[in-house]
Amino acid sequence: MSFNIPKTTPNFSAKARKLEDQLWQASGLEKSKDSTLPLYKDKPYGEGFVARTTSGRRRRNIIYGVVVGLLFWAIYTFSRSLDGNVSLKDGIKDYEFKGWKGRGKPKTNWVAEQNAVKQAFVDSWNGYHKYAWGKDVYKPQTKTGKNMGPKPLGWFIVDSLDSLMLMGLEKELAEARYWVDKDLDYNIDYEVNTFETTIRMLGGLLSAHYLSKDDLYLDKAVNLGNRLLGAFDSESGVPYASVNLKTRKGVKSHADGGASSTAEAATVQLEFKYLSKLTGEALYWETAEKVMKVMEANKAEEGLVPIFIQPDTGKFQGNQIRLGSRGDSYYEYLIKQYLQTEKREEIYRDMYEEAVDGIKHHMVKQSVPGDLAFIGELDRGISGPFSTKMDHLVCFAGGMFALGATEGYTQKEVERSESWTQTRQVNLRLGVELTRTCYEMYHQTVTGLSPEIVFFNDHNTLSKDFSVKPQDAHNLQRPETVESLFYLWRITRNPIYREWGWEIFQAFQKYTKVPGDAGYDSINNVESTEPSWRNNMESFWLSETLKYLYLLFDDSKEEVLPLTDIVFNTEAHPFPKFDMEPLFTTGWTRAPVQAAKKEPQVEQKVEKIPDEPAAEFKPAQVPADPIRG
């Protein structure tokens, strides 16, 4: 791979960084109000200074750790050879597999596939650069662009900075940086969506700084972050749906009775916490953290939250529950907050595990006739009817379940761990099965591209596993499925996920590449061999879809962006994991959870997953649908 994370990139969990923080605090400058510089530039000690004083000791510690680790590995391997197999650590026996046994063909070199993805990115970027440079919206068919407000927000350029870096596109990156320096100004009298601006713009600037160490991006991030803080100035602390970047005033949603989206309000924490770590300013951390405290105070039944919340009262509105739009990334950020701070905030792991249990109990079913595991919707809460509708957005969940089960380590590593349990085994399997389902949403259409929404068949009413309504047949080049393919490849090392990713990418090339030099476009109907164009290329095509595909095919000797070291925000912007102490703490605790009355569940039998992540997932029983009988 042409781009390497620079050695100057801080490893926040290292002793060197801890020492640096202690020195910074001892200096008395940590809370200085007199400096004319931003706080993060007041920090008097550089990483290089600390590294020089600790490098010899660190080298000796590493050598010692390797020797001891090899000794323990040899002893453990010998003991396993006597036992013949590995039992789950909670005493549950291994079980026989009966389900799907997909396994990819061994292939040692994926450079050609990775280069093809890179070329697709370059073609898309060049089209945008030629016809809509600096604009927030790009229309490839008419070869035009426009801004969302009176001035550009950097919707494409900022969202793509880390992709440019990872792909080693130095010329394009230099032009993008120049634009950010000279033309990007967030002092705009315009209302922006709080969530989208946070995950795309703030997240894009923070990840660009992480990868490059260029303070330009951090300066812009601080400026934007300060403007976004106004969205949280509600009675409860839950952010308003929008915020005016100039006045810094939050604005209620103009729909949904003024309610904010639950997912949107709970999907800003990674960004603001990382901004706090970089600047030393606790305000960002405390502001984002308070949202989680307010949501938890609602005591959602079995961890499943309604998709709306009122910012003035902090109370959930309605009882719609889903992992698609307005619900999805709430669950994603629970496990990622836990991982971001080096697993120090157990509160988020607890909330995540409670929610996953609720999802498995109430929202997972299998289709007929292909036994595809899917996550439906609960339009009237847990006790209401079950809908077989599933958005493509839900396809992020396969990767989430795998990440939550393994915490970013490989399957082989975690299966040898004392923390490997039946629950984690089942959750990994659910991630495997959901990812297979999402692949089939592509594979079973005429174009090989997934529709926006499908309805699964669970009552023998159709010959296919799912149906697509005409109004849902469009494809927006969304990233969620290839995101899960990336996670499952990294965790299981099963080449089937690369094969599926390549098949999906080829379908994108065949049906979404615009003739000429305009790049790529979304399409209206995945069930037509001659689909019409939508005349819109989304920024997430560059920042997420192509990035995940590029990383999926990466064969660098040193893995780029290892999941044990980083977390991706929901827009695929990588942030480093860090030690939150001594500057930050979790400022709240959960009240005792009342034991909810649950209907009897079918026992979920599991066994150790072999090299191939293939198994039958048996979802728990779901109450009968009162409408269908």
HSE value, Cβ hemisphere, 13 Å, CA-based, for 607: 13
Quick: pLDDT tens for 311-339.
999 999 999 999 999 999 999 999 999 99
User: For residue 396, what are the contacts with CB-CB under 8 A and spacing of at least 6?
Assistant: 328, 329, 332, 480, 483, 484, 570
Contact 602, 35 (CB under 8 A): no
d(CA 492, CA 615): 13
Helix axes 422-443, 397-406, angle to 10 degrees: 160
Domains along the chain with CATH numbers: 9-84 (no CATH), 85-576 (1.50.10.10)
Contact 504, 494 (CB under 8 A): no
Element (H, E) at 261: strand 260-261
d(CA 316, CA 471): 30
Beta strands 260-261 and 308-309, pairing class = antiparallel
Sort 79 into a burial class: Cβ within 10 Å, 0-12 / 13-18 / 19+. Answer: exposed
Tokens 């590593």 sit on residue: 413
Beta strands 566-568 and 466-467, pairing class = unpaired
> Which residues are bridge partners to 494 per DSSP?
none
**Whole-structure pTM value:** 0.82
Quick: pLDDT tens for 250-271.
999 999 999 999 999 999 999 9
Quick: pLDDT tens for 548-594.
999 999 999 889 999 999 999 999 999 999 999 888 999 888 877 55
CA angle 571, 574, 577 (to 5 degrees): 130
**By three-state DSSP, how is residue 313 classified?**
coil
Annotated binding site: 570
Quick: pLDDT tens for 346-382.
999 999 999 999 999 999 999 999 999 999 999 999 9
Annotated binding site for Ca(2+): 570
* Average pLDDT of the residues in 28-52: 38
d(CA 344, CA 480): 28
- Give the active site residues: 196, 328, 452, 480
Quick: pLDDT tens for 388-447.
999 999 999 999 999 999 999 999 999 999 999 999 999 999 999 999 999 999 999 999
Beta strands 453-456 and 466-467, pairing class = antiparallel
Q: What's phi and psi for 116, nearest 5 deg?
A: -65, -40
How many angstroms separate the Cα of 445 from the Cα of each of 213, 441, 449, 451, 536?
A: 44, 7, 6, 8, 22
